[in-house]
């Protein structure tokens, strides 16, 4: 209705509807009685030599059906919204109907979720129906970024490798999903030095994970890594408290190889995981969290590093 | 009264005949038709068809098969079970095929012998026949019913009408119940009946379908055929001059009229009378209330009740049968015998209908016989276009939908081809539970050098899905997709 803001349109539509209904009824009354003098079975029209138009009376039940539609239409317009912007006597609205449906569904679901909310991740991960629900939630809410196999892609973390930027404990995962995360790597080129230094540091970072690198350049870069160590740690293993990446494993969120690493040092990057607390209920977050946890614990056993 | 002007055209201006007396209603209450009961060859056949079609309709939901209902349309799960077949909504083409076959059968039968469907197999006819039978049990035959309708209200009338209504309503509800039994397992429906705990849609359809049966077979009857049914009208378009239709043999019958009993068949010429004694039995038995002696009319549903009635009269008079019979227009005009008319059945129109019908039936049967008991769909993952994984390999993710149309567990092996070095990185062996449909993420990897050789962009890739049960004697199913190498 956004194009028809004026209240006049509402009156116009209501009037048009009422007049149409009345006209239908009038038409029925006016045409229900014959007008001419004598009786004949045809209208007198003849086509193709012998094709005559018959003028048999309509069956009365047909007329009754017609009246029923008019009565139904009138009743409907009284009870439901339809006459312009009139609300109808029942006060029905599609929004209210939807909310009612949702309330009903929530009530039915809360019974299911209540059972799961009390279960810790390792226990929940073994519950097949719970994981089926978790997978649905993941596909509908998470897969758009993390991929439907949860392995992510460039810029979107792989959730199956048990490598966690912000921690892989139950509490950390729930926090990540509920409130979201912002991962911020500032541009570090100036802090590291000139373009050659950036290249050296990139080689050093590659060396941390034994990736192919220039050994001499890495040696030159090692002292410059001090600037990075504030966040990534002197050993380059990162810090889950601030979400800095572990540089010693062969996992590259923002691209593999020297060029990608230099781009990160030169430009930095702010990566956002949006908060889900307004999209999902606490219980849903619990189940989808357990599903995510289960992806890196396929044997169902919590290992020391993440739990 | 001034006549209304008619549009000028090729007719020019001509006077219009005044239509209806002023003040009379243009709508008419339909007079109830009380068809007289009739016995005979065609009537027996109609009862055979009533029993066959209704044994099928009422009985089928009770037939067990593979541990479930033989015919069940599970709308909630979107699975349609018909004996050994498990159909998906994607298989609706078979329903289309079935409808095309039905249409062509209708064309064929109608062109050969008129409205056979209407007169013998149409649910409207069949249920009307059942409801009429009940009406006869309670209220007697035509004359008794006419008298009862005219009689004032009495205890006798009340019990006869009430008993009929009760029986009608029971049959209507049973029909609605059976109808819903094709969608909800009928045994579930039975236990729901005991507790009266139907779901809202079950309630609606049992009552609505029951009411529709009651109304259409108890009250609307021939009105449905005359005013509502589209097929009734277009079937006349299938007629030609060699179609066998219920016909009154004017040459034999006229001039009609009463005659002394002493005059035999041989003496008819002497008193210049035809064979029709004008007993009007043919009119009394007609379920649509027409007089077949006026020739073919659109109301005629080809039920041949008048043929049976007239043959009975002819037998009593010791006249030859067939004053009213199935005959063609050409046959009546040229006084052909039955054989001469039947010889004209194989005319081009029938051959075309027959050939098309056969071809479609054969096509449908072949397609069903060769149908794979599973369906596969490969869709590229919408989240991740492509990614680089350990060792610089390029990985793409696909969602594989596997739909099992089998009632046993099926095992599949998935492979890819079309790109050198491409391989499935996730588990290539997939199990699908009976009649399940699963969505599975599948990862395909291409080694770095091969990816380099391909260059950035989308490259055609084919998935091959092999069912273990088919290994060695059937080709794997091939599904096209693309593999993306990032810049």
| Average pLDDT of every residue of chain B | 89
Distance, in Å, from the CA atom of B326 to the CA atom of B306, rounded to the nearest integer, reads: 11
Architecture of domain A102-180+274-295: Orthogonal Bundle (1.10)
Task: Give the pLDDT score at B143.
Answer: 92
Residues B366 and B384 placed together within one structural domain of the fold = no
Task: Give the pLDDT score at A267.
Answer: 93
Task: Give the pLDDT score at B6.
Answer: 42
Contact A156 B3 (CB under 8 A): no
Task: Give the pLDDT score at B14.
Answer: 47
* Residue range A88-105: mean pLDDT, rounded: 92
Which one of B352, B371, B390 terminates a domain?
B371
Q: Which residue has the higher pLDDT, A166 or A45?
A: A166
As a dihedral over the C-alpha atoms of residue B2, residue B6, residue B7, residue B12, rounded to 10 degrees, the angle is -100
Which one of B319, B341, B371 terminates a domain?
B371
Please tell me the number of Cα atoms within 13 Å of A206 on its side-chain side.
Answer: 25
pLDDT in tens, A40-75: 566 677 777 777 776 667 788 888 899 999 999 999
Distance, in Å, from the CA atom of B125 to the CA atom of A93, rounded to the nearest integer, reads: 44
Say what the pTM is.
Answer: 0.80
Residues B345 and B387 placed together within one structural domain of the fold = no
Single out the residue of A274, A306, A255, A240 nearest to residue A142, CA to CA: A274
Single out the residue of A190, A187, A217, A191 nearest to residue A202, CA to CA: A217
pLDDT classification of A302: cutoffs 50, 70, 90: very low
* Residue range A204-232: mean pLDDT, rounded: 91
Residues B380 and B293 placed together within one structural domain of the fold = no
Residues B242 and B123 placed together within one structural domain of the fold = yes
For chain A, the residue count is: 307
- Residue A307, pLDDT above cutoff 70: no
Contact A149 B385 (CB under 8 A): no
- Residue A84, pLDDT above cutoff 90: no
Task: Give the pLDDT score at A257.
Answer: 85
Distance of alpha carbon B132 from the chain centroid: 22
Residue of B nearest to A59 (CA): B28
Residues B254 and B355 placed together within one structural domain of the fold = yes
B385: containing domain: 374-485
> How near does any CA of chain B get to the CA of A212, in Å?
10
Residues B348 and B450 placed together within one structural domain of the fold = no
Residue B24: inside a domain, yes or no?
no
Chains A–B, number of C-beta pairs less than 8 Å apart:
128
Residue B200: inside a domain, yes or no?
yes
- Residue A8, pLDDT above cutoff 90: no
Q: What total number of domains does chain B contain?
A: 2
Residues of A in contact with B382 (CB under 8 A): 143-144, 148
Contact B25 A152 (CB under 8 A): no
Contact A38 B21 (CB under 8 A): yes
Residues B336 and B395 placed together within one structural domain of the fold = no
pLDDT in tens, B50-72: 999 999 999 999 999 988 999 99
Contact A35 B16 (CB under 8 A): no
pLDDT in tens, B417-460: 999 999 999 889 999 999 899 888 899 999 999 999 999 999 99
Residue B20: inside a domain, yes or no?
no
Contact A36 B27 (CB under 8 A): no
pLDDT in tens, A267-298: 999 999 999 999 998 999 999 999 999 999 88
- Beta strands (DSSP E) in chain A are 42-47, 51-54, 58-59, 181-185, 269-273
Residues B82 and B159 placed together within one structural domain of the fold = yes
- Residue A209, pLDDT above cutoff 80: yes
Q: Which of A37, A154, A257 sits opposite B22 (nearest CB)?
A: A37
Residues B464 and B343 placed together within one structural domain of the fold = no
Task: Give the pLDDT score at A49.
Answer: 74
- Residue B462, pLDDT above cutoff 60: yes
Residue B38: inside a domain, yes or no?
yes
As a dihedral over the C-alpha atoms of residue A139, residue A140, residue A143, residue A149, rounded to 10 degrees, the angle is 0
pLDDT classification of B23: cutoffs 50, 70, 90: low
Task: Give the pLDDT score at A43.
Answer: 67
Residue B6: inside a domain, yes or no?
no
Stretch among A55-64, A165-174, B388-397, B401-410 having the lowest mean pLDDT: A55-64
Residues of A in contact with B20 (CB under 8 A): 34-36, 39-40, 55, 57
Task: Return the CATH number of A184-273, one of 3.40.50.300, 1.25.40.20, 3.40.50.1100, 1.10.760.10.
Answer: 1.10.760.10
Residue B192: inside a domain, yes or no?
yes
pLDDT in tens, B299-343: 899 999 999 999 999 999 889 999 999 999 899 988 888 888 888
Portion 11-50 of A in contact with B at CB < 8 A? 31-40, 42-45
Check which CATH number belongs to the domain holding B459 and give it: 2.60.40.10
Task: Give the pLDDT score at A62.
Answer: 86
pLDDT classification of B2: cutoffs 50, 70, 90: very low
Which one of B317, B349, B371 terminates a domain?
B371
Residues B357 and B382 placed together within one structural domain of the fold = no
3-state secondary structure chain B: CCCCCCCCCCCCCCCCCCCCCCCCECEECCCCCCCCCCCCHHHHHHHHHHHHHHHHHHHHHHCEECCEECEEEECCCCEEEECCEEECHHHHHHHHHHHHHHHHHHHHHHHHHCCHHHHHHCHHHHHHHHHHHHHHHHHCCHHHHHHHHHCCCCHHHHHHHHHHHHHHHHHHHHHHHHHHCCCCCHHHHHHHHHHCCCCHHHHHHHHHHHHHHHHHHHHHCHHHHHHHCHHHHHHHHHCCCCCCEEEECHHHHCCCCCCCCCCCHHHCCCCCCCCCCCCCHHHHCCCCCCCHHHCCCCCCCCCCHHHHHHHHHHHHHCCCCCCEEEECHHHHHCCCCHHHHHHCCCCHHHHHHHHHHHHHHHHHHHHHHCCCCEEEEEEECCCCCCEEEHHHEEEEEEEEEEEECCCCCEEEEEEEECCCCCEECCCCEEEECCCCEEEEEEEEEECHHHHHHHCCEEEEEEEEEEEHHHCCCCCCEEEEEEEEECC
- Burial of B326-354, coded b for 16+ CB within 10 Å and e otherwise, reads bbbbebbeeebeeeebeebeeeebbeebb
- Residue B283, pLDDT above cutoff 80: yes
- Residue B148, pLDDT above cutoff 80: yes
Which residue in B26, B220, B398 has the most chain A C-beta atoms within 10 A of its own C-beta, making it the best mutation to test that interface? Answer: B26
Residue B1: inside a domain, yes or no?
no
C-beta separation of A288 from A137 below 8 A:
yes
pLDDT-above-70 percentage for chain A: 92
pLDDT in tens, B176-221: 999 999 999 999 999 999 999 999 999 999 999 999 999 999 999 9
Task: Give the pLDDT score at A35.
Answer: 55
């Amino acid at each position: 209705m956004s194009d028809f803001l004026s209240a006049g349109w509402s009156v116009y539509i209501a009037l048009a509807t009422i007049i149409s209904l009345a006209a239908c009824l009038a038409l029925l009354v006016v045409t229900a009685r014959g007008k001419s003098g004598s009786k004949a079975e045809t209208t007198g029209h003849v086509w193709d030599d012998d094709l005559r138009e018959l003028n048999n009376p309509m069956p009365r039940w047909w007329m009754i059906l017609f009246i029923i539609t008019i009565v139904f239409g009138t009743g409907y317009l009284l009870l439901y919204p339809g006459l312009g912007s009139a609300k109808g006597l029942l006060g029905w609205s599609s929004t209210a109907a939807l909310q009612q449906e949702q309330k009903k569904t929530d009530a039915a679901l809360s019974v299911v979720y209540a059972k799961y909310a009390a279960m810790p991740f390792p226990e929940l991960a073994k519950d097949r129906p719970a994981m089926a629900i978790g997978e649905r939630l993941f596909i509908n809410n998470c897969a758009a970024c993390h991929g439907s196999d949860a392995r992510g892609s460039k810029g979107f973390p792989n959730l199956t490798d048990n490598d966690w930027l912000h921690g892989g404990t139950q509490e950390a995962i729930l926090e990540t999903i509920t409130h979201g995360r912002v991962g911020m790597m500032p541009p570090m080129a100036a802090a590291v030095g000139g373009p050659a230094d950036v290249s050296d540091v990139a080689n050093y970072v590659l060396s941390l994970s034994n990736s192919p690198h220039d050994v001499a350049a890495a040696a030159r870069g090692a002292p410059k890594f001090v600037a990075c160590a504030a966040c990534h740690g002197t050993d380059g293993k990162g810090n889950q408290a601030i979400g800095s990446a572990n540089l010693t494993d062969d996992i590259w969120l923002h691209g593999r190889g020297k060029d990608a690493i230099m781009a990160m040092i030169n430009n930095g990057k702010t990566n956002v995981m949006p908060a889900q607390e307004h999209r999902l209920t606490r219980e849903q977050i619990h189940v989808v969290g357990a599903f995510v946890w289960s992806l890196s614990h396929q044997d169902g056993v919590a290992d020391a590093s993440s739990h | 009264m001034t006549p209304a002007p008619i549009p000028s055209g090729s007719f020019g201006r001509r006077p219009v005949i005044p239509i209806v007396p002023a003040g009379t209603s243009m709508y008419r209450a339909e007079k109830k038709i009380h068809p007289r009961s009739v016995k005979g060859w065609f009537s027996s056949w109609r009862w055979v068809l009533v029993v066959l079609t209704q044994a099928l309709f009422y009985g089928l939901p009770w037939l067990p098969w593979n541990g479930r209902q033989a015919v069940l349309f599970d709308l909630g799960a979107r699975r349609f079970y018909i004996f050994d077949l498990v159909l998906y909504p994607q298989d609706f083409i078979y329903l289309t095929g079935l409808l095309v076959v039905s249409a062509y059968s209708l064309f064929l039968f109608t062109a050969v012998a008129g409205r056979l469907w209407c007169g013998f197999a149409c649910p409207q006819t069949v249920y009307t026949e059942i409801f009429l039978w009940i009406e006869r049990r309670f209220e007697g035959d035509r004359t008794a019913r006419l008298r009862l309708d005219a009689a004032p209200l009495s205890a006798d009338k009340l019990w006869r009408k009430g008993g009929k209504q009760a029986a009608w309503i029971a049959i209507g509800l049973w029909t609605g119940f059976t109808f819903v039994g094709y969608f909800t397992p009928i045994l579930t429906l039975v236990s729901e009946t005991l507790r009266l705990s139907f779901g809202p849609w079950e309630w609606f359809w049992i009552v609505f379908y029951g009411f529709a049966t009651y109304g259409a077979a108890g009250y609307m009857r021939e009105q449905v055929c005359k005013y509502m049914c589209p097929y009734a009208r277009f079937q006349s378009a299938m007629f030609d001059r060699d179609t066998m239709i219920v016909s009154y043999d004017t040459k034999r019958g006229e001039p009609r009229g009463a005659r002394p009993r002493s005059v035999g068949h041989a003496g008819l010429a002497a008193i210049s009378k035809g064979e029709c004694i004008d007993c009007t039995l043919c009119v009394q038995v007609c379920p649509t209330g027409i007089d077949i002696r006026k020739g073919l009319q659109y109301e005629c549903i080809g039920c041949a009740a008048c043929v049976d009635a007239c043959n009975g009269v002819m037998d009593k008079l010791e006249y030859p049968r067939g004053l009213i019979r199935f005959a063609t227009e050409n046959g009546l005009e040229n006084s052909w015998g039955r054989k001469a008319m039947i010889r004209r059945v194989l005319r081009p129109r029938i051959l075309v209908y027959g050939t098309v019908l056969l071809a479609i039936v054969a096509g449908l049967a072949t397609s069903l016989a060769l149908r794979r008991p599973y369906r596969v769909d490969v869709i590229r993952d919408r989240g991740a276009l492509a990614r680089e994984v350990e060792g610089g390999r390029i990985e793409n993710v696909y969602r594989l939908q596997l739909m099992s149309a089998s009632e046993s567990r099926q095992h599949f092996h998935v492979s890819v081809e079309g790109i050198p070095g491409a391989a499935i990185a996730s588990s290539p062996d997939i199990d699908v539970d009976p009649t399940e449909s699963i969505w599975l993420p599948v990862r395909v990897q291409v080694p770095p050098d091969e990816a380099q050789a391909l260059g950035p962009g989308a490259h055609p890739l084919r998935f091959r899905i092999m069912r273990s049960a088919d290994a060695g004697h059937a080709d794997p199913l091939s599904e096209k997709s693309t593999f993306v190498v990032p810049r």
